[in-house]
Amino acid sequence: MAKITTSKLLKMKQNGEKIAALTAYDASFAGLFDKNGVHALLIGDSLGMVLQGKADTLAVTNHDIAYHTRCVQAGVESALIIADMPFMTYSNPELALKNAHELMAAGANMVKLEGGEWLYETIRQLTQNGVPVCGHLGLTPQSVNVFGGFKIQGRDADKAKEMIEHAKGLERAGAQLLVLECIPVSLAQAITEAVAIPTIGIGAGNVTDGQILVMHDILGISSGYIPKFSKNYIDIAGTMQGAVELFVKEVQSGEFPDPDRTFN
């Protein structure tokens, strides 16, 4: 299959075809996901939790992400490769350019940054320098200490309105993709309609243009706890390949996530 690009993902949104994405951290799993129809792979800073066993993502370094990006890149033919920029690696445009360079050189096709208005200038500079950007709004885990825990975001009307404005601002600044994490489905719908770029949801209902999950959750290997919005596909499918195929199929049909895994 041909390499999936940002313009392919945009076309998918325009055609109403859903985008299936998973996190990946190594060549073997990345290859399995790539061969079974996953369109985009994220080297998430969730690796701080699922690989390093920490309680949050804050200790992950740019080198950690670069290393795992090289691993993923080695296993991938088609999927778009997105690398997370870790906590404090993009606190100003200059730092963001330097760290994004390392991730792109490691094999990323796009970088992902958490936040709204404060990132507009950084995103402008990244895209002008040839670095495609994915935004991330809602429950942005790098701000867990500001939020006072991993909590649903955008529940009150003012915050929801602000998030829609930030989504539009990220798009204007040059972002080509947008992750929406743990927000009410009505807000996810409003944002998805307000921007032309594809939205990828996690805990945002089935109204976004695509879905992303942490691979450990769909394969049932997250230590004991699985978030309400996620789904253990290995329980249903029995094999890893079957789990990936079923995830992709349910994303494409809109079956995933069902109302029980959606916030209202």
Which residue in the list 162, 171, 181, 245 is annotated as catalytic?
Answer: 181
Q: Binding site: which residues?
A: 45-46, 84, 112, 114
How far is it, in rounded angstroms, from Cα 172 to Cα 181?
20
Annotated binding site for 3-methyl-2-oxobutanoate: 45-46, 84, 112
Q: How far is the CB of 80 from Na ion (least distance, A)?
A: 16
Residues near Na ion (CB under 5 A) are 44-45, 84
- Supply the minimum distance, in Å, between the C-beta of residue 196 and ligand KIV: 21
- Known binding residues for Mg(2+): 45, 84, 114
**Could you say which DSSP state residue 142 is in?**
G
Catalytic: 181?
Answer: yes
Q: Which is nearer to ligand KIV, 1 or 221 (CB)?
A: 221
Residue 184 to residue 212: CA distance in whole angstroms:
16
In the bound state with Na ion, the residue whose beta carbon lies nearer, of 83 and 185, is 83
Smallest gap from residue 44 Cβ to Na ion (A): 4
- With contact defined as beta carbons under 8 Å apart, do 144 and 135 qualify? no
202 binds, among ligand KIV, Na ion, none (CB under 5 to 8 A by kind): ligand KIV
Between 45 and 171, name the residue whose CB sits nearer to Na ion: 45
At residue 82, φ and ψ (nearest 5 deg) are: -110, 130
- Closer to ligand KIV at the Cβ: 58 or 97? 58
Cβ atoms of 240 and 219 closer than 8 Å: yes
Q: Give me the residues that bind ligand KIV (CB under 6 A), please.
A: 23, 42, 44-46, 84, 179, 181, 202, 212, 214
Nearest to 167 by CA among 201, 199, 122, 142: 199
Write down the least CB distance from residue 45 to ligand KIV, Å: 5
Residue 36's alpha-carbon distances to 21, 76, 79, 128, 231, in angstroms, are: 11, 11, 10, 33, 18
Which listed option, ligand KIV, Na ion, none, makes contact with residue 207 (CB within 5 to 8 Å by class)? none
Type of residue numbered 95? L
The reply to whether omega before 257 is within 30° of 0 (cis) is yes
Q: Helix, strand, coil % (nearest 5) of the chain?
A: 45, 15, 40
Binding-site partner at residue 80 among ligand KIV, Na ion, none, CB < 5 to 8 Å by type: none
Q: How far apart are CA 111 and CA 132, in angstroms?
A: 6
CB of 225 to Na ion, least distance (A): 17
Q: Token pair for residue 159?
A: 């915050």
Report, as residue numbers or ranges, the catalytic residues. 181
